[in-house]
Structure 1
Amino acid sequence: MTRPGFASTGDMTEKQVSFTEIGPGLWAYTAEGDPNTGIIIGDDSVMVVDAQATPVMAQRVIEKIRGVTDKPIKYVVLSHYHAVRVLGASAYGASEIVASETCRAMIHERGKEDWDSELGRFPRLFQAADSVPGLTWPTVTFTDRMTIHLGGRRVDLMHLGRAHTAGDIVAFVPDAGVMFSGDIVEYRSACYCGDAHFTDWPATLAAIAAFKPKALAPGRGGALVGTAKVEEALALTSDFLSSTFRPVAEVAARGGSLKEAMAACRAECDAKFASYAIYEHCLPFNVARAYDEALGIDTPRIWTAERDREMWAALQG
């Protein structure tokens, strides 16, 4: 088997953007497996969920927003701390940047390392990287739940449990039954699990399912309209997680090596998920984190640009 070049450094193909209305005044900006952005239009203002990786890339989202409303963008919500989601926030001119308290703590702890890491892994997503003014700092944080009113439209921001990171939040719009999940849910795109909590993630998916969303904007992949489509995405995400973690945990339990864990994960996952966006990119990072968690390491180790290259050479070389 021919192994890919490092992470997504070879992926320089521009993706086709879709801007899909998934509920009244609710939109999903998606791009064939690239990071998605959600838009919530209220009576008097707009909320953006996840900001893109640079201000220049965020401008593309703003152009789409301005095609459907001229209301001011008042809030930018960060579903979690990863650079590809947050570093474009300054472009929106929002009054407030909202995140979980854990997300803000993770920016303090590992935000700069993640920025360097992700820029090295996926340069296409950081177009005009020099337009980023610095780390994005939330101005408003909460622990478990926060409600924001956009005029008469209510948006519930909730930390439902650890999953893709320790600080993930979702945005739910009750009047339409629509959920914006960030990377807790993906649709036919690999889950990046390098900062994940595999053991907790299924319960967080179940908490999302309990809302019975009529539509959902996932972190990556197409917009999901209709309960059947949402249920499919939840099931596929759950299967991806269990198919990754279980074989790795079995290897770790018998004292096998990380390289053996990688082979066991491939044996389980390649046939099912090799066609998914960013599958090869995510695989070594997912295996490394699954192996650590299986050995009882609760807090994911910080990824640095140097550690990325070392892990890739060891597992994908």
Structure 2
Amino acid sequence: MKVIAQRLTLGLAALLMAPTAGLASEDIADQYPQSELYSKPVEVIPHVFSAIGATAPPTYENAGHNNNLSFIVTSEGVVVINAGASDALAAAVHQEIRNVTDQPVVLVINENGQGHAMLGNGYWRDQGVDVLAHVDATAEVRENGDFILQRMQAYNKDRAGQTRIEPANLSFEDRYDLALGGVEIQVLHLGPAHDPGDTQVWLPQWGMMIAGDIAFHERMLPIFEHTCTSCWIDTWQERFEAYAPTYVIPGHGHPTNMDQVRRYTLDYLLDLRGKIGTHIEEGGDLASAYYVDQSRWEGLDTFEELATKNAGRVFEEMEWE
């Protein structure tokens, strides 16, 4: 076990010391121009790979690859986390898997119902691969899938290809367990967080959490109209922290550890809610709430796109708490 732990630590350390790893920026151009992927998958720890997406909004230039597309290689098959934002991205991930193993893909997991998690489902289903999602994520796809697809087609143009809406054919509510090639894989829904049906994948033997969008790193998290930030904080503090993973692949940003994702996720949510709470107590209105001080976070990618929107949405949430 000591040797395995050393291998894991060295693998993650090598990744974090790579030339582009510690310097995520939304201004960094496509790192893997020969592929539809924004970056080539890296082996984060032995047997767990991730193609790290751009820390930027989805664009034609990054083909919508602005989240992390991960896969677990075992002696009995491969499990993929996130189908990708198009059939072309799904096919690109599949090719990368073929480059490292002859094992077939046996399951794809959608981390939520967002486009970059599920728009590639059609490609995987055409390969005969089961797709698993939380029941709330599947409901989101059924309700808003056409709009999500149209939004992707608008920025991705010809790169959208023949992508179609294909809901997951398998679902779960609280937890879905599987053992594959001696690897225990726990698919979890720890509670409400960023988006309906947020899903985490826990690998207890290796201390690895593929966290999905409960955890962000290096870029500002977006708060949607339906996001309950108080619920997100509760889920984090009451359930997510209990796993105490050694390694974390966040939904966005480079693989890291709990201290870093806590800083850029939980600490940000607590800070913004604290600022908005004070603003409300002092009689502030929505118009001025957009400009509460978030300068502590201005170094994060997507700050300019999201900071004021986030403040407004938290005000609307907290006004009635």
Task: State the TM-score, normalized to the length of structure 2.
Answer: 0.77
Counterpart of 1:282 (choices 288, 306, 318) is 306
- Report Cα offsets for 1:157-210 as digits up to 9, x if no partner: 111011111311101112212111111111111111114220011232232222
Pick closer, same or farther for the CA change 1:261–1:127 going to 2, 3 Å.
Answer: farther
Question: In structure 2, what is the Cα distance between the partners aligned to 1:255 and 1:101?
Answer: 40
Pick closer, same or farther for the CA change 1:136–1:292 going to 2, 3 Å.
Answer: farther
Q: Counterpart of 2:243 in 1: which secondary structure?
A: coil
Q: Counterpart of 1:183 in 2: which secondary structure?
A: strand
**% of aligned pairs identical?**
22
Q: CA deviation at 1:277?
A: 2.0
Question: In structure 2, what is the Cα distance between the partners aligned to 1:57 and 1:38?
Answer: 12
Pick closer, same or farther for the CA change 1:82–1:24 going to 2, 3 Å.
Answer: same
**Number of aligned residues:** 276
Counterpart of 2:51 (choices 26, 29, 36) is 29
1:295 aligns with 2:319: yes
Amino acid at match of 2:159: A
Structure 1's unaligned 5+ residue stretches are 1-9, 298-317
Q: Counterpart of 2:228 in 1: which secondary structure?
A: coil
Q: CA deviation at 1:14?
A: 2.5
- Whether the aligned pair in 2 keeps the contact of 1:253 and 1:294 (CA below 8 Å) is no
Matches within 5 A, 1:85-124: 85-92=117-124, 93-117=127-151, 123=155
In the other structure, the counterpart of 1:5 is none
Relative contact order higher in (CA < 8 Å, ≥ 6 apart) = 1
In the other structure, the counterpart of 1:199 is 230
Counterpart of 2:74 (choices 30, 33, 42) is 42
In the other structure, the counterpart of 1:313 is none
Amino acid at match of 1:279: F
In the other structure, the counterpart of 1:167 is 197
Q: CA deviation at 1:29?
A: 1.4
Question: In structure 2, what is the Cα distance between the partners aligned to 1:114 and 1:289?
Answer: 21
Counterpart of 1:237 (choices 249, 260, 265) is 265
Question: In structure 2, what is the Cα distance between the partners aligned to 1:250 and 1:115?
Answer: 39
Pick closer, same or farther for the CA change 1:59–1:208 going to 2, 3 Å.
Answer: same
Q: Counterpart of 1:200 in 2: which secondary structure?
A: helix
Q: Counterpart of 2:215 in 1: which secondary structure?
A: coil
Counterpart of 2:291 (choices 253, 263, 268) is 263
Pick closer, same or farther for the CA change 1:81–1:252 going to 2, 3 Å.
Answer: farther
Amino acid at match of 2:265: T
Counterpart of 1:183 (choices 167, 189, 213) is 213
RMSD (Å) for aligned C-alpha atoms: 2.5
Amino acid at match of 1:14: D
Task: State the TM-score, normalized to the length of structure 1.
Answer: 0.78
Matches within 5 A, 1:77-156: 77-92=109-124, 93-117=127-151, 123=155, 128-133=159-164, 135-156=165-186
